[in-house]
Amino acid sequence: MTLNRKKVTPNRPWVVLLHGFMGSGEDWHAVRRGLSTHFNCCCPDLPGHGENPLVTKAGVGGLEDGVHWLTRRLDDWEVKRGGLVGYSMGGRLALLMALRHAERFSGVVLESTSPGLKTSEERALRQKHDLDLVAELVKSAGDPILFRTFLEWWYDQPLFASLHEHGGLVKWLIDMRCKGGNPAALAEALGAFSTGAQPSLWDSLSDHDIPTLLIVGERDRKFRFIAEEMAERCPAMAVEVFAGCGHNVHLENPDGYTTVVRSFLCTNPGT
């Protein structure tokens, strides 16, 4: 994403929004529209996603490298300080970014996010699982039918079950991914940003003191439990549960999500 400086309102606080795996900055279109009355919104395509190049060409080989990449982009765009929002994979990057550069953020929103896996055994299993997915994505490179089949399987996972209750939403997601996704780049991004490749951040939560809202869907039991444990370990964190939603709250309830995020960030504005 190239920031359009003509759309930047002077003296208005910033908010940076980081999408999840296989997404792009366009995933935030409804949320961005609601937030843009109060904030300058920066919604970058993360490495390997959307219009961004392959991870290696972006100089990114892991989550720590992702922090360096994002820091450079924010410097390029003259985003000095503001709010930070991240969903799923983007939320893991947002958490590490906030831990490494706390001075840049006044408030953080993490949606359906974890601080990583706690044990090396869990990480090894997850990395094997994700490498199998990498192989499937590589096979679908250059074959639109195989890529669509992969996407149909992806969104048929139990994690995304509630998305199917919103008429046309899954089809819209698949069509958008088919149009803008590059399977080879996504495969490389998954290898770099895999939860299995990420060091655990659980023990760092006690050092985190930026006001942080953990958003989870009522029906996403796994991430509800994770969010509750995160909040127990970190006094700066509070949990907001959205009734009827699953893993992707900002798509299932964009109006409610935007209202909550806007209120939280206005209470903790950047400068």
Indicate the angle between helix axes 89-100 and 183-193, nearest 10 degrees.
50
Task: Please give the Cα distance from 69 to 74 (Å, whole number).
Answer: 9
Question: Is the model's pLDDT at 230 over the cut of 50?
Answer: yes
DSSP secondary structure of 82-95: EEEEEETHHHHHHH
In the chain the domains, ranked by start, together with CATH numbers, are 14-267 (3.40.50.1820)
What are the two backbone dihedrals, phi and then psi, of residue 199, each rounded to the nearest 5 degrees? -65, 150
Q: Do 60 and 69 form a contact (C-beta atoms < 8 A)?
A: yes
pLDDT value for 8: 86
Residue 162 structure tokens: 């509630």
- Select from 159, 220, 217, 223 the least CA-distant residue to 22: 159
C-beta atoms surrounding 266 within 10 Å: 14
Quick: pLDDT tens for 36-85.
999 999 999 999 999 998 999 888 989 999 999 999 999 999 999 999 99
Lookup result for tokens 């410097």: 75
